[in-house]
Amino acid sequence: MPMAIRNIMTEENPVLRQKSREVVLFDDRLFELLDDLNDTLHHANGAGIAAPQVGVLRRICLVEVVKGELYELINPVIKRSSGKQVCEEGCLSIPGRSGKVERPKKMTVEAFDRYGKKRSYTVTGYAAVAFSHEIDHLDGVLYVDKLVLDEGEA
C-alpha cells in the first residue's frame, strides 16, 4: 500500500485554533486517515500528531514516543492526571522552535481504538507529555500557549 503523506498545517493556519468534533463513524475513511497520520508522523520524525495538524477537525491523535509503540487515540478523554513535570517541547506545526511546558507527570486517558473499542491507557513521563500535547491540539491549544519561564528568566 502506498504511503500517504499529508501536509502539516503551521501555526498561522486558523484550523489549528479550532475545536475538533467527535468521531462517530468507525469506517474505511477513518482507517485511511489513521494510516495517513501514521505515515505523516513517521515521515516528519515526530512523537505525535493530531488530525487538526493535517486540516481534519476530528478528535483523533497518534502518539509514538517509543518506536513501534503506536497509540491511536480516538475521542480521547483525560480521566485522571497527577504530578507535574516541565519538559522542552516542540511541535510539527511550529517548526524550528521549542519551549518549556508544564504537563502532568502521570495521566490516564480513555479513548477508542480504530475499531470502536474503548481502551484505557495510563502513561507517565515523556509519554504523558506527548498525550497531553496531542490532546491539546484537539481543543485548538498549542504548546506555545502554555510556555513557562525558568526561574531567573522573569
Active centre residues (catalytic):
134
The distance of Cα 144 from the centroid of its chain, to the nearest Å, equals 14
Residue in the structure block whose three cell numbers are 475499531: 115
* 44, amino acid identity: A
Rg for the chain (alpha carbons), in Å? 15
- Which H helix or E strand runs over 128? helix 125-137
Burial class (CB in 10 A: 0-12, 13-18, 19+), 56: middle
Neighbours of 134 (CB within 10 A): 26
Bridge partners (DSSP) listed for residue 122: 108
The distance of Cα 51 from the centroid of its chain, to the nearest Å, equals 8
